[in-house]
A and B are shown apart, each in its own frame.
Chain A
């Protein structure tokens, strides 16, 4: 089972899409949506198998390795580490929730809709489980297409503009990334460079013997065929011997641009609010919950380990403002994203008739800035926090979009000015919304607190001022989210249209409650989740900063006592 589970999980949704296309008629919408939801549920249950990931051993597991395109050295290689495991499970969960939440929202072309949703699922899971850069890139690009149609067909009034903007913007980024991918591929054929790669580096990155074996195999095949290799681990190992210089920085930038647009980081974020506002609820959930993570996951999987020297570079450019380098730029943009996103989100409550969805979209910019800050803190706390923030942002922003969708289905508006006093008529909805707002502003014992604490702690270790600036964004977060809550739920009902709103129904409870439970769970007892990512995160930190001592792994004399 372990040897083909990843392919199962990846391709099952695609199979479902084919089944729907082949067996169901257009007008059997109720059958289609039930079938799709069950299918998503099946995929989710299947993905739970991945939780058997051996946390003590770490590294890449559930490996698959098949010949694919020998002529360029591309192989069908799959494998996941703890980070990818969590992201995949989150994806399958949100996929199921997205399809369940669409039952009433989507009223036209259900067949195509669910087919696209399933295809999107395949592409996204593929991204997280690829071990071959070529395969990764393929999935990465393909994931654009279903989303494009989801926005373009089932979106709001301005859907075409938003869909094309989304598509082209991300495409530009990924095409630039393609340059980097190709260059990396050619570099794997550079024997002067590759001969310096030590077995320890490979071992560190792969994490276990099986993965090391896979790297060795694909390398041997590649050499035998006279091609390069797209094996991600090998490319990461290559990064450790890549000399620091223009080439490495350019490569970093090529990859970073593609991912930064996906994240999205300031100033590449403007596609996001448009895409979110126009997308149907499920589209927003997948977009915020999963697709944004492709960017940060890319930084984690590629930029950090493949270009370690550039990642930790703080001194390439000497200016009159002081010296700064690649890392300084990324961190600066991350902090700007945090504060800028929060302020822009605040605009939608300051404004009389703000769009709730836009607010949540901009708050995502802020939140993803926190992920980037954590990742580029380049220490275990920070990276742990960044990775956890990916998961948590998936939970809370997905939930908030769902909640906005619920009220939109009833009132067909997302204008803050239309609401007020909803607590009176929808107490259950109000309670859930409060729970998610509190998650979003990082209340302790809820999920986001854990990740923000770790990310900020890590960035404090890197530079106290970073943490101080980023923490400012958290005050702003509290400001606009509470204000939003006040405007929507407190006060009297002064709009007669709101008087007859019904509270959440069973279906809505069914898909909201798991997210709330997850938020509480991660907040109260995050240990199981953190255990999945400890080993991969430590490996990345070690790769970027070989001098960082991680007590308990390789303990030199310097190590201090560990706490109980």
Chain B
């Protein structure tokens, strides 16, 4: 069945093409457009489910070996690029060869010889080799891509359905769904491609769709700016990614995953501080991942991207696209794990981003901004997991995060929608009563992200922290763990704050003016000369483009009775910030919420940790049904130097592990960190592995509890506290509120400077480069006048005659275009050059003339 997976990306593309090319021309109704879009994604989801099932459990199950569509003939030679020289990483490669040859020779020895053997074998060939570069277009189904296929199409389907309700009434309905379908195509190519180039196609493709969708309300300046910022920041990341791809081809002679990883797994590991080829490649890849997954220092675009419609934020900027970086790092875990330096970098960047974004999230007032920073922070958690070597757990967190964050974004969308396009949480409160579905689904998401057992977020987040504490792959695991735990407390805190400000407490929307900062922002917006409409909503917000008097948003129960026809200006519709009663959203919006809420609640059970496996305590329970065991075969194991064996254990790999002396290479052994290891330290005290794990589980639950309790204390029990503490910690509060001024710094240090460079270059071009050209022209014109004067008396006839002749010949055209003067000087120039030619080649010409005469005579 899985041979039909090539249909999965194609279907959304088809839907997008129909909607985009015909939607406007044929004036499709919203039902038709929505039907096509949702239908195509639903079908893709269905095929994915069936394909993954048959891949993993069917009668022809191929798990865990990758299945390429080229095996069944669906593939074409996309870029036949010609020959390449494999000229990078030659020393590493020769070390691999030495290793292999040593193993062969060692195997050929008798046991006695082996016992006697003391030295090392030296071999290897460091001359470049050549290969043909043929980039193939084919899809790959393997444990990793199957997870992403399911998440992308499954969560995508929920969001598509939600969007049909949310975007109802928009003028660009067809355009929206065309872009969304295109996005699904690009995202699926990204995760299903069988080589790095296809990943890059998807990578840039999702970037384009993100650009188009953030800028969906293209008449709004901040949306247009945000979309450009997102694209260009991503381009900076892509710069690294592209160089890494070039590096991969230069080292391995191929871009096909199977080939690259097959070669890479035997490469020597590069210990901390050593920058071999794989470290450089990993660095390039990670720069790309930072761009796409909004990690420091390239995180700036994601919060701004909230200017797009909320379903877009949910789909692209929470559930799928931003996790592409994780996909890439996990896909290339062989390369990352070979570089201890880069693992440490990944872990540190992840931890730094997690805490950095979490602290910003505490002070934001725009509900979508809070969620955006929360996303950045959670992505940091995932990178943390990658950095400590727990790639599988990172993907597990990608999945659970996709459930609960998509849920919360859609919930936020529902709130915004119910609040008539209000995003400022200071104007919300008490919505529990008005929006029960939204509230209860959001409630599940809240518990999930806080990490309360048994909600999905608990399972993945807990394992991340456990892996950080117990890692032997990098030093400083304890620090990563500590930062992660603090970030987890912050997460629980700001999420509780969000719940409290939005759903609990006073119903502030009833007050005409919220007072305090909300109105300060209001006033400052006026000062900046924004339109009154913008001033009501100081935060970059999600508002449909609409004309005054035009009805926007879905027709919902409580307003439907007085909005019967479009064009009736209804006072309570977003323009005027009076008191209006929030309303629950239509079923097309809350049904997806419920589905996602269920997933956010129980989705974590696919990855129950070993601590809950009371029989052995060492393995993840559930066989290949457990996501960890499902994914393990794509993870390279530094202990064995090969991919992990399926179904846990180290069966086969362990056999080949014995024997083979280390070849002549200083970096042959797997570097294991010997620094302080928190988990081992605890283990040494309690003398029980299982107990140690449980201690960390309890710590992480306590952390979540502290965050939630603090949130309750500040925003439910003692609402005066936030202001008091904001005063006490004023500098910190300001730093967090202003996002640590990173945007301002980039604006000053990069954007302004680039613009200066552009001005400088043009001025240089205009004044100097062109100045020289024009100066030369002036000089030669003067010179030609002099020569002309000389000519007049000495070679009078010649120039004038020729000039006159040409003028007469071309006069009809020349009259319009020519002045006599320039003509002369051109002519003089040519004559001068001809003289130069003659001088230069005097001898040759003489010979030629002689030959010519000889031939004639």
Cβ-defined contact, A548 with B85, below 8 A: yes
Q: Complex formed: what's the CA distance from A160 to B854 in Å?
A: 47
- A71's nearest neighbour on chain B, judged by CB, is B852
Cβ-defined contact, B841 with A179, below 8 A: yes
Within 8 A of A (CB), among B830-853: 830, 833-834, 836-837, 840-841, 844, 847-848, 851-852
Of A178, A348, A427, A549, the residue contacting B24 (CB under 8 A) is: A427
Instruction: State whether the Cβ of A11 lies closer than 8 Å to any Cβ in chain B.
Output: no
Cβ-defined contact, B759 with A464, below 8 A: no
Of A178, A421, A443, the residue contacting B837 (CB under 8 A) is: A178
Give the A interface residue count (CB, 8 A). 102
Instruction: State whether the Cβ of A277 lies closer than 8 Å to any Cβ in chain B.
Output: no
Pick from B230-238, B394-402, B536-544 the stretch touching chain A: B230-238
Q: Complex formed: what's the CA distance from A358 to B204 in Å?
A: 27
4 additional A-B residue pairs with CB within 8 Å, beyond A344-B765, A490-B215, A491-B219: A72-B848, A482-B211, A486-B227, A560-B130
Instruction: State whether the Cβ of A412 lies closer than 8 Å to any Cβ in chain B.
Output: no
Cβ-defined contact, B817 with A153, below 8 A: yes
Instruction: State whether the Cβ of B829 lies closer than 8 Å to any Cβ in chain A.
Output: yes
Quick one: CB contact mask for B122-146 with A, threshold 8 Å, 1 for yes?
0000010111111010000000000
- B217's nearest neighbour on chain A, judged by CB, is A490
Cβ-defined contact, A550 with B847, below 8 A: no
If A445-B201, A489-B218 touch, whether A379 touches B83 (CB-CB below 8 Å) is yes
Q: Complex formed: what's the CA distance from A474 to B236 in Å?
A: 9
Q: How far is the CB of B436 from the nearest CB of chain A, in Å?
A: 39
The 6 closest A-B pairs by CB, nearest first: A380-B82, A152-B817, A347-B762, A460-B246, A346-B758, A444-B201
Q: How far is the CB of B718 from the nearest CB of chain A, in Å?
A: 46
Cβ-defined contact, B817 with A171, below 8 A: no
Pick from B162-170, B355-363, B769-777 the stretch touching chain A: B769-777
If A444-B204, A560-B129 touch, whether A457 touches B81 (CB-CB below 8 Å) is yes
Cβ-defined contact, B855 with A461, below 8 A: no
Cβ-defined contact, B754 with A482, below 8 A: no
Cβ-defined contact, B81 with A461, below 8 A: no
Q: Complex formed: what's the CA distance from A478 to B235 in Å?
A: 8
Instruction: State whether the Cβ of B711 lies closer than 8 Å to any Cβ in chain A.
Output: no
Q: Complex formed: what's the CA distance from A423 to B171 in Å?
A: 13
Of A179, A445, A453, A472, the residue contacting B239 (CB under 8 A) is: A472
Q: Complex formed: what's the CA distance from A541 to B201 in Å?
A: 29
Q: Complex formed: what's the CA distance from A547 to B219 in Å?
A: 58
Instruction: State whether the Cβ of A467 lies closer than 8 Å to any Cβ in chain B.
Output: yes
Q: How far is the CB of B303 from the nearest CB of chain A, in Å?
A: 19
Instruction: State whether the Cβ of A312 lies closer than 8 Å to any Cβ in chain B.
Output: no
Cβ-defined contact, A461 with B851, below 8 A: no
Q: Complex formed: what's the CA distance from A343 to B764 in Å?
A: 11
Cβ-defined contact, A165 with B773, below 8 A: yes
Measured between beta carbons, the chain B residues less than 8 angstroms from A531 are: 80
Cβ-defined contact, A474 with B235, below 8 A: yes
Q: How far is the CB of B550 from the nearest CB of chain A, in Å?
A: 15
Instruction: State whether the Cβ of A84 lies closer than 8 Å to any Cβ in chain B.
Output: no
Cβ-defined contact, A347 with B759, below 8 A: yes
Instruction: State whether the Cβ of B653 lies closer than 8 Å to any Cβ in chain A.
Output: no
Instruction: State whether the Cβ of B259 lies closer than 8 Å to any Cβ in chain A.
Output: yes
Instruction: State whether the Cβ of B249 lies closer than 8 Å to any Cβ in chain A.
Output: yes
Instruction: State whether the Cβ of B28 lies closer than 8 Å to any Cβ in chain A.
Output: no
Q: Complex formed: what's the CA distance from A558 to B128 in Å?
A: 9
Quick one: CB contact mask for B263-293 with A, threshold 8 Å, 1 for yes?
0000000000000000000000000000000
Q: Complex formed: what's the CA distance from A539 to B1 in Å?
A: 46
Q: Complex formed: what's the CA distance from A266 to B232 in Å?
A: 26
Q: How far is the CB of A531 from the nearest CB of chain B, in Å?
A: 7
9 contacts between A and B (CB under 8 A): A168-B826, A168-B829, A179-B836, A344-B762, A350-B758, A381-B83, A482-B232, A491-B220, A558-B130
Within 8 A of A (CB), among B201-246: 201, 204-205, 208, 211, 215, 218-221, 224-225, 227-228, 231-232, 235-236, 239, 242-243, 246
Measured between beta carbons, the chain A residues less than 8 angstroms from B127 are: 558
Of B250, B826, B841, the residue contacting A461 (CB under 8 A) is: B250
Cβ-defined contact, A225 with B855, below 8 A: yes
Measured between beta carbons, the chain A residues less than 8 angstroms from B205 are: 443-445
Q: How far is the CB of A462 from the nearest CB of chain B, in Å?
A: 9
Q: How far is the CB of A144 from the nearest CB of chain B, in Å?
A: 11
Cβ-defined contact, A475 with B129, below 8 A: no
- A169's nearest neighbour on chain B, judged by CB, is B773
Q: How far is the CB of B823 from the nearest CB of chain A, in Å?
A: 9
Measured between beta carbons, the chain B residues less than 8 angstroms from A538 are: 82-83
A residues neighboring B (CB under 8 Å): 71-72, 109, 112, 148-149, 152-153, 159-160, 163-165, 167-169, 171-172, 175-176, 178-179, 182-183, 186, 189, 225-227, 266-267, 269-271, 340, 343-344, 346-348, 350-351, 379-381, 384-385, 421, 423-424, 427, 438, 443-445, 449-450, 453-454, 456-457, 460-461, 464, 467-468, 471-472, 474-476, 478-480, 482-483, 486, 489-492, 525-527, 530-531, 534, 537-538, 541, 548-552, 558-564
Of B81, B208, B777, the residue contacting A381 (CB under 8 A) is: B81
Could you count the A-B residue pairs with CB atoms below 8 Å apart for me: how many are there?
256
If A183-B841, A344-B758, A443-B208 touch, whether A160 touches B817 (CB-CB below 8 Å) is yes
Q: Complex formed: what's the CA distance from A379 to B87 in Å?
A: 12
If A461-B87, A526-B79, A563-B254 touch, whether A179 touches B837 (CB-CB below 8 Å) is yes
Q: How far is the CB of B809 from the nearest CB of chain A, in Å?
A: 12
Measured between beta carbons, the chain B residues less than 8 angstroms from A381 are: 81-84, 133
Q: How far is the CB of B180 from the nearest CB of chain A, in Å?
A: 17
Within 8 A of A (CB), among B340-395: none
Measured between beta carbons, the chain A residues less than 8 angstroms from B224 are: 486, 490-491
- A478's nearest neighbour on chain B, judged by CB, is B235
Q: Complex formed: what's the CA distance from A186 to B844 in Å?
A: 7
If A153-B816, A179-B841, A551-B131 touch, whether A380 touches B83 (CB-CB below 8 Å) is yes
Measured between beta carbons, the chain B residues less than 8 angstroms from A159 are: 817
Pick from B70-78, B473-481, B685-693 the stretch touching chain A: B70-78
If A427-B24, A492-B219 touch, whether A270 touches B765 (CB-CB below 8 Å) is yes
Cβ-defined contact, A564 with B79, below 8 A: no
If A456-B246, A558-B129 touch, whether A478 touches B231 (CB-CB below 8 Å) is yes
Cβ-defined contact, A350 with B759, below 8 A: yes
Q: How far is the CB of A475 from the nearest CB of chain B, in Å?
A: 5
Measured between beta carbons, the chain A residues less than 8 angstroms from B26 are: none
Quick one: CB contact mask for B1-40 with A, threshold 8 Å, 1 for yes?
0000000000000000000000010000000000000000
Q: Complex formed: what's the CA distance from A168 to B243 in Å?
A: 41
Measured between beta carbons, the chain A residues less than 8 angstroms from B840 are: 179
Cβ-defined contact, B80 with A490, below 8 A: no
Cβ-defined contact, A456 with B242, below 8 A: yes
Instruction: State whether the Cβ of B247 lies closer than 8 Å to any Cβ in chain A.
Output: yes
Cβ-defined contact, B242 with A530, below 8 A: no
Cβ-defined contact, B235 with A182, below 8 A: no
Measured between beta carbons, the chain A residues less than 8 angstroms from B208 are: 438, 443
Q: How far is the CB of A471 from the nearest CB of chain B, in Å?
A: 5
- B832's nearest neighbour on chain A, judged by CB, is A175
Q: Complex formed: what's the CA distance from A534 to B856 in Å?
A: 45
Q: How far is the CB of B186 from the nearest CB of chain A, in Å?
A: 9
Cβ-defined contact, B80 with A267, below 8 A: no
Q: Complex formed: what's the CA distance from A480 to B225 in Å?
A: 13
Measured between beta carbons, the chain B residues less than 8 angstroms from A165 are: 773, 777
Instruction: State whether the Cβ of B200 lies closer than 8 Å to any Cβ in chain A.
Output: yes
Instruction: State whether the Cβ of B611 lies closer than 8 Å to any Cβ in chain A.
Output: no
Within 8 A of A (CB), among B73-108: 76-88
Measured between beta carbons, the chain A residues less than 8 angstroms from B616 are: none
Measured between beta carbons, the chain B residues less than 8 angstroms from A449 are: 204
Q: How far is the CB of B27 from the nearest CB of chain A, in Å?
A: 14
Instruction: State whether the Cβ of B110 lies closer than 8 Å to any Cβ in chain A.
Output: no
Q: Complex formed: what's the CA distance from A56 to B598 in Å?
A: 60
Q: Complex formed: what's the CA distance from A346 to B221 in Å?
A: 20
Within 8 A of A (CB), among B654-698: none
Instruction: State whether the Cβ of B253 lies closer than 8 Å to any Cβ in chain A.
Output: yes
If A153-B813, A344-B761 touch, whether A168 touches B777 (CB-CB below 8 Å) is yes
Within 8 A of A (CB), among B807-825: 812-813, 816-819, 822
